[in-house]
Amino acid sequence: MTPPVALYDVSKWYGEVLGINGITVQLTPGVTGLLGPNGAGKSTLLKVTAGLLWPSRGRVEIFGANPWREVEVYRRIGFCHDGDGFYDALTGADFLCASLRMHGYARQRARALAYEALELVGLADEARKRIGAYSKGMRQRLKLAHAVAHNPDVILLDEPLAGMDPVGRRHTLDLVARWGAEGKTVAISSHILHEIDALTSNIMMISHGRLLAEGDVHEVRGLLREHPHQIYLECAEPRALASRLIAVEQVRQVSLDSTRRGILIETFDPDAVYDRLTQVVIEDGVSIDLMTSPDDNVQAVFAYLTRGRSDDSG
């Protein structure tokens, strides 16, 4: 089956400046988080994917078509770009209506779809207001409506949460999750890692124009063998528990966090430690109040992946 989005060895240079380098990746239905710091190449990658930038090398396919050459494929793509370009004199509804008419919809259908999209992003009450009077957050939501009003199969969102208030962010993340669950292929970029962490575990990490890792964040974490896994526990008797755990062969290090009654365990074999921990809890009757994996998340994985690079460059 042809993947909805496929990039093969794609590079983009702006003169002598590297945008992205040698990226080969396939996006499948569901939400993929595109993560990286500012200037990492996230926007370039999305623009190349959307056919708005010509790749210097490699090829991009959306449903098997080259988006740069075959513009009809844009009917199936929704792109929310990072710019803020609108026609301030138009109302939100008119702007979306014009956009949909460019997709080939007849006037009445375009108007109906425009109102549906505005309703979806929570701008129905502002539909007849001029865009010039919209706040930054409302403009972001309008961009989102613009990207999805024509019911695309592939949705590319470049920093859609920037400038939104917390309620707007929550609403947008819910929408993105919904589109992913509906079977749409959604790529969402952000440099705020915890937002994406809450949305999806399927990630692409990019830094300095290079793809660092892609796939399920937990699987990616498992592949980082040079960094021991961390397990954090809180219980009533942390010292006693620590003394038992240090004896476990797979435990590399145990440190106490006396102020918070916590223990931080480092291990290269977390599954074995979890098994042993269960035995200890049963045998000793230890009551554990909290257990987390502080480095099994997007932020920690990204930090591990970029640490060496930062050290190199620094």
Partner 1 sequence: MPVYDQHYHPWAGKPRPRWHRWLVITRYHLSLLFTGKGRNILILILVSAGFIHFCFLAYVYVMANRQILEQYAIPVERLPGINARFFLTEIIAQTLTVAILTLIMGAGLIADDRRDNAIPLYLSKPLTVTEYLLGKLGVLALPILGITAVPTLLVFVLHWLGGGGKEFILTYWRLPFAIVALSVLIALFCGALMLMASSLVKKGAIAGVVVVGLFIGHNVLAGVLNGIFDSRKFMIISLQFDFYRLGLWLFGLEHVQEAQEFPFSGLAAAGVILAATALCWAILWRQVRPVEVVK
Q: Which is nearer to partner 1, 36 or 51 (CB)?
A: 51
Q: Which is nearer to partner 1, 138 or 245 (CB)?
A: 138
What torsion, rounded to 10 degrees, do the Cα atoms 299, 300, 302, 304 define? Answer: 160
Q: Which is nearer to partner 1, 50 or 263 (CB)?
A: 50
Whole-number Cα distances in Å, 24 to 5, 15, 201:
11, 22, 19
**Least distance (Å) between residue 306 CB and partner 1:** 25
**Least distance (Å) between residue 32 CB and partner 1:** 12
**Least distance (Å) between residue 208 CB and partner 1:** 18
Determine how many CB atoms are found less than 10 A away from the CB of residue 218.
12
226: amino acid identity, one letter: E
**Least distance (Å) between residue 77 CB and partner 1:** 7
Q: Which is nearer to partner 1, 141 or 276 (CB)?
A: 141
Query: CA 37, 38, 39: angle at the middle one, nearest 5?
Result: 110
Concatenated DSSP letters of 152-175 = -SEEEEESTTTT--HHHHHHHHHH
Q: Which is nearer to partner 1, 184 or 229 (CB)?
A: 184
Residue 239's SS3 state is: helix
**Least distance (Å) between residue 78 CB and partner 1:** 8
User: Which letter does DSSP use for residue 256 in this model?
Assistant: E
Q: Which is nearer to partner 1, 42 or 81 (CB)?
A: 81
Q: How far apart are CA 48 and CA 68, in angstroms?
A: 9
Instruction: Starting at the earlier edge strand, list the strands of the sheet with 77-80.
Output: 77-80, 154-158, 185-190, 30-35, 202-207, 210-216
Token output for 131? 């865009």
- Which residue spans within the chain are E strands per DSSP? 5-14, 17-27, 30-35, 57-62, 77-80, 154-158, 185-190, 202-207, 210-216, 229-235, 251-257, 262-267, 288-292
Q: Which is nearer to partner 1, 149 or 248 (CB)?
A: 149
Binding site for partner 1 (CB under 8 A): 1, 4, 14-15, 17, 28-30, 47, 50-53, 63, 71-77, 79, 81, 83-87, 89-90, 94, 98-99, 101-106, 109, 146, 150-153, 180-184, 201, 216
**Least distance (Å) between residue 54 CB and partner 1:** 9
**Least distance (Å) between residue 237 CB and partner 1:** 37
